[in-house]
Amino acid sequence: MTVYQLISDYKNIKVYKDSFNELAKMVFGIDFKVWYEKGYWSDNYVCYSYVDGDKVIANASINKMTIVSNTKEYQAIQVGTVMTHPDYRYQGLSGKLMNHIMEKYEKESDFIFLFANKSVLDFYPKFGFEKVQESSFSLSISDVKKQPTQSSTLRRLSIESTTDLQLLEDFATERIPVSSLLGVKNSEHLLMFYFILVFSEAIYYIQEEDVIVLFKHAGSHLHIFDIVSKKSVEIDTILSHIISTETETINLYFTPDDNDKKFNTAFITDSDDTLFVRPLIEDVTEHFQFPLTSHS
């Protein structure tokens, strides 16, 4: 069997970085180039890759971050961007990369987690990961206390604007966790990825509240992907700025703080983004969802 070189931490080496990006485009259809050329590939995102010459042929990355669960902080590692070039599959390269990451990080982190699609649900338990069921959160418009704010200054931000991009950077750096029940800190690099590559058309700044909200309307549904704030904010206050006359249901893609509100919760039984954790967190609330913008 051919022995390939294992490399890591090459965010400043263009030939490997660009080859990694080509593989990501081929396997996932994701182009990281704008993100890393703007300088958001930080030390908290580390690739572990096998190379054949200068060509990245297999990869597993880690994201270092702090997870807040029921107000307690954990140092966590999230594994992501696990991929192998089609010409090099069935050689066990992904498994070797996973073992390498487990050996390196299991003692210096409180837990390791990842999200997997349906095609690899049997792969990660081989490395000690356990599948964990997340929940969905929704809210009926009848449970919203405040009515829409008539004088709201709601402005869509553009990543093409230098001023707006600086504002996004500031919020990514200074944000507080979206929830004390389950939130994320120290993941600016990942949030900037979502700003630039995932939700670039859905980023809004509420001037009165000094809050950034990622959301979109779809008929009677309002989908809120994240609330990025430097201070604690009431969700009713946010909703008063963004609900429309057609809104009937608000869907959240994170775990909200209760605040005596009757959120509709349901275990997610069919997902192409299944959570795996090693080891399990003991004090997590029954119904929870990792913030969507923390997925890698």
Query: pLDDT per residue over 151-196, tens digit each?
Result: 678 999 999 999 999 999 999 999 999 999 999 999 999 999 999 9
For residue 185, what are its two tokens?
């800190």
Contact 253, 147 (CB under 8 A): no
DSSP annotation of 283: S
Residue 155 to residue 204: CA distance in whole angstroms: 5
Residue intervals in the chain for CATH 3.40.630.30: 5-133
Q: What is the pLDDT of residue 168?
A: 98
Q: Which residues contact 190 (CB under 8 A, 6 or more apart)?
A: 45, 63, 65, 293, 294, 296
Output the CATH code of domain 137-271+285-294.
Answer: 3.40.630
Strand 274-278 and strand 135-140: the pairing is: unpaired
CA–CA gap between residue 143 and residue 5 (Å, rounded): 57
**Block residue for tokens 């399990």:** 280
Instruction: Let me know: does 63 contact 56? Beta carbons within 8 Å.
Output: no
Contacts with 62 (C-beta within 8 Å, 6 or more apart), sequence order: 45, 46, 48, 77, 78, 79, 80, 101, 105
pTM over 0.75: yes
Number of helices (H), then strands (E), belonging to the chain: the values are 6, 15
Residues present in the chain in total: 296
* CATH 3.40.630.30 fits domain 5-133: yes
What are the average pLDDT values for consecutive 10-residue runs of the chain, which has 296 residues?
91 97 97 97 97 97 96 95 97 97 95 94 94 95 74 90 98 96 95 98 96 98 98 92 94 84 88 92 83 96
Catalogue the E-assigned strands of the chain: 5-8, 45-52, 55-69, 72-84, 111-116, 130-132, 135-140, 154-156, 182-185, 203-206, 211-218, 221-229, 249-252, 264-267, 274-278
- Measured between alpha carbons, how far is 190 from 183 in angstroms, rounded to an integer? 14
The position carrying tokens 């490395």 is: 127
